[in-house]
């Protein structure tokens, strides 16, 4: 039995906490359009009902977004139907999408990226300033505990951020209004409202570490050590987040004193002032300077930041290779130089012309060999339906105005710049991303995703394998 969505009396008290969080923490999002991501599960349904309850007072213009991840068959279809029906009863527009996994063993990471890219596209289409997710205080506790088990620092202990930018120009924020609300409170509130929700059986899959933490470790800790362990972990996350904010404020001041220059080609810091700082602050400032330059952080572990912090104050040391093409050397101050940096805004930026890619065959482009093969026995990074490829193929770099239809977004394109931003590709590195293109547009963003229009299906007769390898020449 469905309750009338308009009947919210008595309002569950946690909905009031959601309202206060929005008003106090995100006043810039009051009176704006929001996209609410709804899977159909209890947390996201609770999020939707809470936002629907406070929307009239706060002037929120809501729409619903639901993405099928292509792995649960009929259950996923029932989830989509449930969400569409709920949105209709609430009088809200809904966007329903579908994504299909393409890389075995990479489902969770790929699904997360696809979900965020799709939600950003929906937000752009709706003119929304916020995308709301249904993470709860329990999710926060699980995240903090998971990071403790793996080993983490202050930033990791801060857990899930309540807000972060999803895109810029125009800005879209990713917000989590339920981080101070427990899963138990939400379920009790939904029961009081007579609001049903769906259950995802995969959440009980204890082969995954996160599920074992939720269903085995946290209950064990609550039973034998602290019945309020989830609350304690969430509180630890809040305290760590507060400490991290205080640290960031201190770093803002230090950065103005220590950082002399930062661009895609080089970073320069005042060596004497850097050397006067404690090692943790020194490492954090170097991390900030690295980010200011727009350099990639993949592989830059806490250990590597500590090593860089040590080397940076030893002027007697010779130059060092830090990684990602970055070299450390001393010249009065601390200099970090990225040898293969490319500034896309510079007047003398090198534009590499397109290179033909034969089928089968290979093309060399900016240090990469891109290989196209019709031999099923050849190694490949991606496969596309050869009969959906529009010859000829070429390899080139990104161009202004490029649009891309990522796998999982059938029939919908997005600016390539937004796609690369969503994939966390630094601005300075975006011109270096190889694109395999055919007569219909971008076929493969190398290292990231193929175009949905050329995906392999059960009707595919011929496959084209695509591979990218470093070119020793």
First vs last C-alpha separation in the chain: 68
Can you tell me the distance from the alpha carbon of 65 to that of 78, in angstroms, rounded to the nearest whole number?
Answer: 15
Tell me the pTM.
Answer: 0.65
Q: Which structure tokens are listed for 193?
A: 């409202």
44 is in an annotated binding site: yes
From the number of C-beta atoms within 10 Å of its C-beta (0-12, 13-18, 19+), residue 224 rates as exposed
Among 323, 324, 280, smallest CA distance to 302 is for 280
40 is in an annotated binding site: yes
Show the domains of the chain with their CATH numbers: 13-231 (3.40.50.620), 263-341 (no CATH), 355-470 (3.50.40.10)
42 is in an annotated binding site: yes
16 is in an annotated binding site: no
41 is in an annotated binding site: yes
Residues with Cβ within 8 Å of 332's Cβ and at least 6 positions away in sequence, in order, are 271
43 is in an annotated binding site: yes
Question: Would you write out the chain's pLDDT as a tens digit for each of its 473 residues?
Answer: 455 554 444 568 899 999 999 999 999 999 999 999 999 999 999 999 999 999 999 999 999 999 987 666 678 889 999 999 999 999 999 999 888 776 655 567 677 878 888 999 999 999 999 999 999 999 999 999 999 998 888 888 999 999 998 888 789 999 999 999 999 999 999 999 999 999 876 666 666 788 899 999 999 999 999 999 999 999 999 999 999 999 999 999 999 999 999 887 889 999 999 999 999 999 999 999 998 887 777 667 778 888 899 999 887 766 787 876 788 888 889 999 876 443 333 333 344 678 899 998 998 887 788 999 988 778 888 999 998 998 889 998 888 778 899 998 877 889 999 999 888 888 877 888 899 998 888 999 998 999 999 998 888 888 999 998 876 44
């Amino acid at each position: 039995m469905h309750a009338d969505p308009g009947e919210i009396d008595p309002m569950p008290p946690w909905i009031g906490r959601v309202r206060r969080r929005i008003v106090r923490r995100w006043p810039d999002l009051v009176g704006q359009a929001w996209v609410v991501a709804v899977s159909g599960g209890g947390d996201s349904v609770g999020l939707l009902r809470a936002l629907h309850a406070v929307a009239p007072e706060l002037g929120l213009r809501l729409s619903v977004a639901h993405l099928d991840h292509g792995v649960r068959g009929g259950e996923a279809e029932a989830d989509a139907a449930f969400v569409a029906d709920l949105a209709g009863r609430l009088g809200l527009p809904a966007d329903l999408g579908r994504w299909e996994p393409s890389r075995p063993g990479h489902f969770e990471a790929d699904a997360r990226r696809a979900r965020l890219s799709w939600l950003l596209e929906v937000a752009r289409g709706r003119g929304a300033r916020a995308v709301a997710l249904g993470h709860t205080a329990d999710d926060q506790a699980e995240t903090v505990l998971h990071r403790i088990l793996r080993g983490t620092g202050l930033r990791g202990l801060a857990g899930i951020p309540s807000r972060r930018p999803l895109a810029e120009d125009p800005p879209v924020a990713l917000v989590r209004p339920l981080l101070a609300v427990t899963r138990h409170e939400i379920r009790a509130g939904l029961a009081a409202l007579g609001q049903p929700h769906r259950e995802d059986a995969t959440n009980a899959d204890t082969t995954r570490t996160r599920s074992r933490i939720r269903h085995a470790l946290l209950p064990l800790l609550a039973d034998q050590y602290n019945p309020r362990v989830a609350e304690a972990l969430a509180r630890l996350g809040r305290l760590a987040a507060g400490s991290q904010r205080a640290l960031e404020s201190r770093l803002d001041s230090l950065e103005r004193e220590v950082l002399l220059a930062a661009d895609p080609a080089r970073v320069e810091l005042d060596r004497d002032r850097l050397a006067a700082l404690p090692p943790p602050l020194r490492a954090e400032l170097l991390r900030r300077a690295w980010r200011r330059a727009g350099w990639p952080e993949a592989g830059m572990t806490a250990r590597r930041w500590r090593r860089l912090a040590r080397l940076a104050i030893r002027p007697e040391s010779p130059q060092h290779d830090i990684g990602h093409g970055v070299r450390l050397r001393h010249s009065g101050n601390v200099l970090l130089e990225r040898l293969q940096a490319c500034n896309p805004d510079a007047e003398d930026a090198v534009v590499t012309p397109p290179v033909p890619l034969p089928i089968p065959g290979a093309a060399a482009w900016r240090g990469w060999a891109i290989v196209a093969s019709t031999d099923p026995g050849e190694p490949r990074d991606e496969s596309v339906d050869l009969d959906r490829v529009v010859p000829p193929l070429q390899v080139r770099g990104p161009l202004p105005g490029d649009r891309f239809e990522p796998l999982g977004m059938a029939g919908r394109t997005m600016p390539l710049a937004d796609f690369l931003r969503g994939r966390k590709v630094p601005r300075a590195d975006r011109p270096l991303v190889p694109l395999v293109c055919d007569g219909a547009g971008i076929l493969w963003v190398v290292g990231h995703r193929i175009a949905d229009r050329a995906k392999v299906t059960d009707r595919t007769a011929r496959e084209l394998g695509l591979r990218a390898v470093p070119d020793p020449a």
